[in-house]
Structure 1
Amino acid sequence: MGVRVCKEEKERGQEEKAEKSEIYEIREGERLRRSNPISVSMVSREHKRAALYEKLQLLRSITNSHALNKTSIIVDASKYIEELKQKVERLNEDTANAQTSSSSSDQTPLPVVTVETLEKGFLINVFSEKSCPGLLVSVLEAFEDLGLNVLEARVSCADSFRLQAVGGENEEEGESIDAHAVKQAVAVAIKNWSENNEHE
């Protein structure tokens, strides 16, 4: 029992000593800081200078500046920023011009028409790289106005427009037509269709 009490007292004594030494170290550190504030501020200044130097060197490398002093580096950086702004403005203008030219070119190309004369009738091909909603109806109306009967036709209207039709003359109507007249009638129908689409 007495041994245990002694051990506990020893442990308490050691803990108290440790606490006292910690308090002493803390106080000693504070005393050193208080006694030497100049050295602490000098260290912080050196840190600030080093950080500023690093930032200036980084700025110098980004802007491809050959300047050595701080003012010249900053002047070069401001010139570099102005150049970047001008480049951005030029790019924006180029993009806007490209968009307007592409939108105008989107409107201009009309479907291509070819007409071949067959033994009885005509082989009519109409092709466009874009889908042309409503164009098939316009072309068929042109055939009807000409008095052409569609004997055979293949049509694709998904991503592009392709019409291949064999048209025969209506024998009841006495007037004969040639390939040029058929092509012209289909071209007029395409033009009318295009104008109607633009108004919509």
Structure 2
Amino acid sequence: MSNSRREQKRTSLYGKIQHLRSVTHSTSVNKTSIIVDASKYIEELKDKVERLEESSSHGHEYSLPIEVSVETLKRGFLINVYSDRNCPGLLVSVLEAFDELGLDVLDAKVSCSDNFHLEVVGGENEEQKFGVDAQGVKQAVLEAIKKWSESNNDEQE
């Protein structure tokens, strides 16, 4: 192999190492340290992906594991929303979803201290123009939770 060919390979490798250094935000100077930093960076990214996948498998893409159940009653619905963590502002979001559906809150119990637990009996009000079923109520509550979660994540970043 000629010297110019070897020099081209060395220059190319040097360029790739420097690119790797910049992409991984490495402050190291020698090749071995840059590669070690890159390896750590890749591990951090893998962990981040796993956490994101984990959070999206819980509660339909929400960062908090929140359980929602809806039962049909004779005249309305029994809605339960539970999270093992306190969720400031979630109550307002869920109640706004009820309002958008045309549901009146007939009875409610809420706990927001160490965890979040909402139990609501909601009934259709007279102004409601369309019928709603348990699945529709659950979907609306899940959407409210999603919007609440996204707005809280935006504020924390």
Query: Could you tell me whether the CA contact under 8 Å between 1:131 and 1:161 is conserved in 2?
Result: yes
Q: Deviations over 1:122-173 (max 9, x none)?
A: 0000000000000000000000000000000000000100000000001232
| Partner SS for 1:188 | helix
| Partner SS for 1:143 | helix
The amino acid that maps onto 1:175 is F
Separation in structure 1 between the aligned mates of residue 96 and residue 130 of structure 2, nearest angstrom:
18
Matched with 1:129 is 84
Query: Could you tell me whether the CA contact under 8 Å between 2:63 and 2:149 is conserved in 1?
Result: no
Matched with 1:180 is 135
Q: 2:103 aligns with which of 124, 145, 148?
A: 148
Structure 1 residues 124 and 172, CA gap change in structure 2 (3 angstroms): same
Separation in structure 2 between the aligned mates of residue 159 and residue 169 of structure 1, nearest angstrom:
31
| Structure 1 range deviating more: 172-181 or 105-114 | 105-114
Which structure has more relative contact order (CA 8 Å, sep 6+)? It is 2
| Partner SS for 1:108 | coil
Q: 1:139 aligns with which of 94, 104, 129?
A: 94
Matched with 2:35 is none
Separation in structure 2 between the aligned mates of residue 101 and residue 152 of structure 1, nearest angstrom:
41
| Partner SS for 2:93 | helix
Of structures 1 and 2, the larger Rg is shown by: 1
| Partner SS for 2:128 | coil
Q: Deviations over 1:82-133 (max 9, x none)?
A: xxxxxxxxxxx9xx97x97997667733311100000000000000000000
| Partner SS for 1:163 | strand
TM-score by length of 1: 0.47
Where does the alignment leave 5 or more consecutive residues of structure 1 unmatched? 1-92
Separation in structure 1 between the aligned mates of residue 129 and residue 100 of structure 2, nearest angstrom:
14
Matched with 1:117 is 72
Q: Which has the larger helix fraction?
A: 1
- Number of equivalent positions: 105
Where does the alignment leave 5 or more consecutive residues of structure 2 unmatched? 1-39, 56-61
Separation in structure 1 between the aligned mates of residue 64 and residue 92 of structure 2, nearest angstrom:
19
RMSD: 2.4
Q: Which has the larger strand fraction?
A: 2
**Residue identity (%):** 55
Matched with 1:194 is 149
